[in-house]
């Protein structure tokens, strides 16, 4: 049985594989990790990262923060204050940098809140008519943290930005008042960090709600800790709890995050996927397109083809959201569209099911359908106002290097709003 061992910032010096890095490289990781959360684990270190390819290895870039994730002036200010400032001064600089990184993009806090009467419900987001997002408090962490994560403020204790709930009662009440909701998505963090007993306490009551037809689980456990579904002490218990969903006649949809084909290679990943499929789960896959990690058509073709071989369904190619280190990870919209198109073109039919490139923004998910010079054809694949879902619209770039929806302006202002 593999034993899970995680390392956070304070334990950086205990990671044996880092002994090959220079002092300067280690210091850079420490500086950037004072802004973004850092966590890795023994599986990522031993099975996924190629330590002969540092610092360019894609999984190293995915998991270890690096200097360019901060603007040069922020990095230098932080370096300076850490060397000469008081604790209070350091805290203040860190806080100010974090605030400039748009910690809550896309109106998550205000626009997606759910209410019963005038009471705001904690840990619940209701953006689209038919699906509710639930953030159990026990899942507001992950087996390791991704450097690009748009939920990075969820993992920082001294930021009062956590979306989380310990209670299932308000969620059930809200579902009874809103029978048009047919899906609940467990999210976080990673809900698969919970143990089977805690997960069961949420799942069991949901199965009694007739209007709920689908339970979705957003997770990166298949990449960062696949033993969760194979040899962990709790693996059998976890599979048993998840199996209750399909036994109750509901759909169990795993939204699995894979960012690079390397994550699909260890044999234990196939075993974990097989075990989930045996209990009736369907596994759909998604990832953002990320510079330095997966920004080539070949990487995506390889990833999607391998996913189909493993009985997963490619679902979304996202673009990095307008928070955190977007400036570092994002391709231009035009390049993103080229990468997506070429990747799909080289896929077999069954591997070309992913929508993309898609921006998940304030009012919905917008897909880029075509680019010609500075003109863009786009479509909402999902809009918070149903009547706009699947509507096509055109927009013009208002930036020399458009990387997000805010860099475009709709040509006839009818559909697009931010
Ligand atoms: S596993 Fe998901 S929620 Fe956790 S850090 Fe990575 S992207 Fe973010």
How does pLDDT run across 129-154, given as a tens digit for each residue? 999 999 999 999 999 999 999 989 88
For the segment 339-368, the average pLDDT, to the nearest whole number, is 96
Give me the CATH topology for the region 113-354.
TIM Barrel (3.20.20)
Q: Is residue 256 lining ligand 1, measured as CB closer than 6 Å?
A: no
Confidence at 416, pLDDT banded by 50, 70, 90:
low
pLDDT over 60 at 417, yes or no: no
Q: Is 351 in the pocket of ligand 1 (CB under 6 A)?
A: no
* 343 dihedral zone (left: phi>0; alpha: psi -120 to 50; beta): alpha
- The answer on pLDDT for 219 being more than 90 is yes
389 φ/ψ angles, rounded to the nearest 5 degrees: -65, 135
Contact 184, 212 (CB under 8 A): yes
Q: Name the E strands within 260-416.
A: 282-288, 313-318, 355-361, 364-372, 375-383, 392-397, 408-410
Lowest mean pLDDT among 97-106, 184-193, 313-322, 330-339: 97-106
Query: Does ligand 1 lie within 6 Å of residue 152's CB atom?
Result: no
What is the whole-number distance in angstroms between the Cα of residue 290 and the centre of ligand 1?
Answer: 14
Please name every residue paired with 365 in a beta bridge, in sequence order, or none if there are none: 360, 382
pLDDT of residue 161: 66
What pLDDT is attached to residue 34?
A: 95
CA of 364 to the centre of ligand 1 (A): 20
Take atom 6 of ligand 1 and give the residue whose Cα is closest.
Answer: 146
Q: Is the CB of 290 under 6 A from ligand 1?
A: no
Q: What is the mean pLDDT of residues 250-260?
A: 98
pLDDT of residue 157: 76
Least confident segment among 162-166, 260-264, 391-395: 162-166
Query: 44 alpha carbon to ligand 1 midpoint, in Å?
Result: 14
- Kindly provide the b/e burial profile for residues 185-205, where b requires at least 16 CB atoms within 10 angstroms of the residue's own CB: bbbbbbbbbbbbebbbebbee
The chain-wide mean pLDDT, for the chain, equals: 94
Burial of 119 per CB tally in 10 Å (0-12, 13-18, 19+):
exposed
- Segment 360-382 mean pLDDT: 94
Residue 17's pLDDT band (cuts 50, 70, 90): very high
Q: Where are the domains of the chain?
A: 6-100, 113-354
Q: What is the mean pLDDT of residues 216-236?
A: 98
If DSSP codes are grouped into helix, strand and coil, which group holds residue 291? coil
pLDDT value at 109 more than 70: no
Structure tokens at 130: 């038919």
User: What residue's CA is closest to ligand 1, atom 1?
Assistant: 220
pLDDT at 375 > cutoff 50: yes
Please give the share of the chain, as a percent, with pLDDT higher than 70: 96
Lowest-pLDDT choice from 52-56, 161-165, 184-188, 385-389: 161-165
pLDDT band at residue 112 using 50, 70 and 90 as cut-offs: confident
Give residue 320 CA to ligand 1 midpoint distance, Å: 13
For residues 94-118, average pLDDT? 84
Instruction: Tell me the mean pLDDT in the region 46-71.
Output: 96
What Rg, from alpha-carbon coordinates, does the chain have? 21
CA–CA separation, 357 and 365 (whole Å): 10
Say what percent of the chain tops pLDDT 90.
87
**Residue 107: is its pLDDT beyond 80?**
no
Q: What is the pLDDT of residue 418?
A: 43
């Amino acid at each position: 049985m593999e034993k899970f061992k995680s390392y956070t910032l304070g334990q950086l010096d205990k990671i044996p594989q880092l002994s090959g890095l220079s002092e300067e490289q280690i210091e850079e990781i420490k500086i950037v990790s004072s802004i973004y959360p850092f966590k890795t684990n023994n599986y990522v270190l031993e099975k996924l990262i190629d330590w002969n390819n540092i610092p360019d290895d894609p999984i190293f870039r995915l998991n270890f923060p690096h200097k360019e994730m901060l603007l040069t002036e922020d990095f230098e200010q932080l370096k300076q204050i850490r060397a000469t400032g008081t604790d209070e001064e350091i805290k203040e600089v860190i806080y100010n940098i974090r605030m400039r990184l748009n910690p809550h993009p896309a109106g998550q806090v205000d626009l997606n809140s759910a209410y019963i009467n005038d009471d705001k419900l904690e840990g619940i987001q209701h953006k689209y008519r038919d699906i509710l997002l639930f953030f159990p408090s026990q899942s507001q962490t992950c087996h390791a943290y991704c450097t690009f994560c748009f939920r990075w403020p969820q993992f920082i204790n001294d930021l009062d930005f956590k979306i989380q709930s310990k209670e299932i009662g308000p969620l059930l009440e809200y579902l009874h008042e809103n029978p048009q909701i047919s899906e609940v998505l467990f999210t976080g963090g990673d809900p698969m960090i919970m143990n089977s007993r805690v997960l069961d306490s949420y799942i069991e009551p949901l199965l009694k709600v007739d209007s709920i037809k689908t339970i979705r689980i957003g997770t990166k456990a298949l990449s960062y800790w696949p033993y969760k579904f194979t040899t962990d002490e709790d693996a059998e218990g976890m599979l048993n709890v998840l199996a209750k969903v399909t036994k109750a006649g509901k759909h169990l949809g795993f939204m699995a995050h894979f960012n690079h084909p390397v994550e699909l290679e260890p044999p234990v990943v196939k075993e974990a996927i097989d075990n989930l499929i045996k209990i009736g789960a369907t596994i759909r896959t998604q990832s953002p397109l990320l510079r330095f990690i997966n920004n080539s058509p070949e990487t995506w073709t390889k990833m999607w083809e391998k996913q189909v071989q493993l009985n997963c369904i490619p679902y979304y190619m996202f673009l990095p959201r307008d928070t955190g280190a977007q400036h570092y990870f994002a391709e231009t919209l035009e390049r993103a569209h080229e990468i997506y198109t070429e990747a799909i073109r080289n896929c077999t039919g069954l591997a070309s099911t992913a929508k993309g490139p898609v921006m998940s923004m304030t009012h919905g998910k917008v897909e880029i359908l075509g680019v010609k010079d500075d003109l863009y054809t786009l479509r909402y694949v999902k809009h918070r106002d149903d009547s706009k879902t699947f509507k096509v619209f055109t927009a013009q770039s208002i930036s020399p290097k458009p990387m997000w929806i805010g860099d475009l302006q709709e040509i006839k202002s009818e559909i697009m709003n931010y």
